[in-house]
Amino acid sequence: MLEDSLGAVWLRGEVSNLKRAASGHTYFTLKDDKAEISAVRFKFASPFLPAPTQPLEEGMEVLAYGRATLYEPRGRYQFIVSLVQPAGLGALQVAFEQLKRKLQEEGLFNEDHKQPLPLYPLRVGVVTSPTGAAIRDIISVTGRRFPLAELYIFPSSVQGEAAAAEIVSAITSAERFSASHIALDLLIVGRGGGSLEDLNVFNAEDVARAIYACKIPVISAVGHEIDFTISDFVADRRAPTPSAAAEIAFPDQEDLRRQLQAFASQNLRRVRVNIDRREERMNSRLHEYVFRLPGRKIDSLSQRLDIHLQALLREMQQAMAKRTQALDHARGLLLLSDPRLPLRRGYSITRILGEKEPLRDTARLSAGMSLETHLLRGTVLSSVEEVKTDEDR
């Protein structure tokens, strides 16, 4: 009657008194705060979901599918389990492992894809709730460590059914803002602590793919220090809390100050060593022969200067003599070409009156023509009465 009237049912309860027999059968008690029932899962039953690698454990809350029956040898009823799976948080863990395995096989966790974080990020975007503790912690740590940085908040809810879509939208908005307005050096995505159900939004596949595709380096900062979320595996860097994300993202200004002081001191020592080395070299040079006997060196240089000056003077004199000789020659040529020189010797120049060319041939003359004769001093005008040629002489 028990088996026929009740049929197959689902029971939800906590596993206790777990025993595994050598035969491979599993015996346990399924209970809640009001009742309990003995249960058995035979080794030939349907495998434990999602895979045999998920065994039953003491204290696990499960959903068990099977039939109630009577165990006649002891006269008690028990539950024969054919199918069992984690309930509540256990179901979330199953979904987490399934998605993790899927994304890992697709290569979303590969280290080769992860971007390096900038050393000195000046503009950082934050995807989180604008009223949550996470943004206050990030602002506080940033002001303490690296006040030069500017934070840009892209608001989103971080729990609830709509949270995953809002986080994806905020990441997309941050990328658009970085491309069209101000380039962001880094993006922090996360929230403060909470229950596993609250943090489960960061195990959403859409959120993981949005982080993976983001062009900006991403730090996943989900406030659950012990466990990882899918976002932690996909992001370029994981931080256990939002405060830790700011610690990772920004250098400490005190450390930078100490580094600068050490760098300045190191450079100052190098400069001093260089100066000391050059001073030592200069002192060594001052003790050389040329500085111990400066007078001899000066005398030698003076003598060389005199020699060069004398050679220069000779060259100038020779050049002047050549130029004087050339000038005298030109003057002689000029005197020889002086038209008045023949006049000083008693010669004269005769032209036909009105012409400029001197008269050289009597063939151009005829009786009655007027002539103009130039002497050294004065001019004579005459008229041709008779023309005689060389043949007439």
Q: Write the DSSP symbol of residue 223.
A: S
d(CA 332, CA 297): 53
In tens, the pLDDT along 50-75 reads 443 457 788 888 888 888 998 888 88
Superfamily of domain 110-251, CATH level 4: Response regulator (3.40.50.2300)
The mean pLDDT value of the chain amounts to: 85
**Residue 75: predicted pLDDT:** 86
In tens, the pLDDT along 353-366 reads 888 888 888 888 88
Question: 């000056």: which residue's tokens?
Answer: 309
Quick one: tokens of 110? 């590969």
CA distances from 114 to 10, 216, 219 (A): 45, 10, 11
Average pLDDT, integer, range 314-328: 89
**Residue 295: predicted pLDDT:** 65
According to DSSP H, which parts of the chain are helical? 2-6, 89-106, 133-145, 163-180, 196-199, 205-213, 230-234, 242-249, 253-286, 289-292, 294-336, 341-344
**Residue 53: predicted pLDDT:** 41
- Contacts of 101-110 spanning 24+ positions with Cβ under 8 A: 103/205, 103/208, 103/230, 103/233, 103/234, 104/233, 108/208, 108/209, 108/212, 108/233, 108/234, 109/233, 109/234
3-state secondary structure of 205: helix
Structure-derived torsion over alpha carbons of residues 87, 88, 89, 93, reported in degrees to the nearest 10: 50
In tens, the pLDDT along 284-300 reads 776 666 566 666 777 77
pLDDT band at 236 (very low <50, low <70, confident <90, very high): very high
Using the predicted structure, report yes or no on whether residue 19 has a pLDDT greater than 80.
yes
**Residue 358: predicted pLDDT:** 87
**Residue 51: predicted pLDDT:** 41
d(CA 212, CA 231): 9
Using the predicted structure, report yes or no on whether residue 194 has a pLDDT greater than 80.
no
pLDDT band at 39 (very low <50, low <70, confident <90, very high): very high
Domains 2-87 and 110-251 equal at CATH topology level: no
Using the predicted structure, report yes or no on whether residue 330 has a pLDDT greater than 50.
yes
Looking at domain 2-87, its CATH architecture is Beta Barrel (2.40)
**Residue 152: predicted pLDDT:** 95
d(CA 223, CA 199): 8
In tens, the pLDDT along 90-130 reads 666 777 778 888 888 888 889 899 999 999 999 999 999 99
In tens, the pLDDT along 367-377 reads 889 989 888 88
Q: Give residues with Cβ within 8 angstroms of 151, minimum separation 6.
A: 124, 125, 126, 138, 139, 142
Quick one: tokens of 192? 């403060």
d(CA 120, CA 273): 32
Using the predicted structure, report yes or no on whether residue 227 has a pLDDT greater than 70.
no
**Residue 50: predicted pLDDT:** 44
Q: What's the gap between Cα 44 and its chain centre?
A: 62
Average pLDDT, integer, range 324-353: 81
Residue ranges per structural domain of the chain: 2-87, 110-251, 343-392
**Residue 118: predicted pLDDT:** 92
**Residue 260: predicted pLDDT:** 87
pTM: 0.51
Q: Of 141, 139, 158, 214, which Cα lies nearest the Cα of 184? A: 214
In tens, the pLDDT along 275-288 reads 888 888 888 776 66
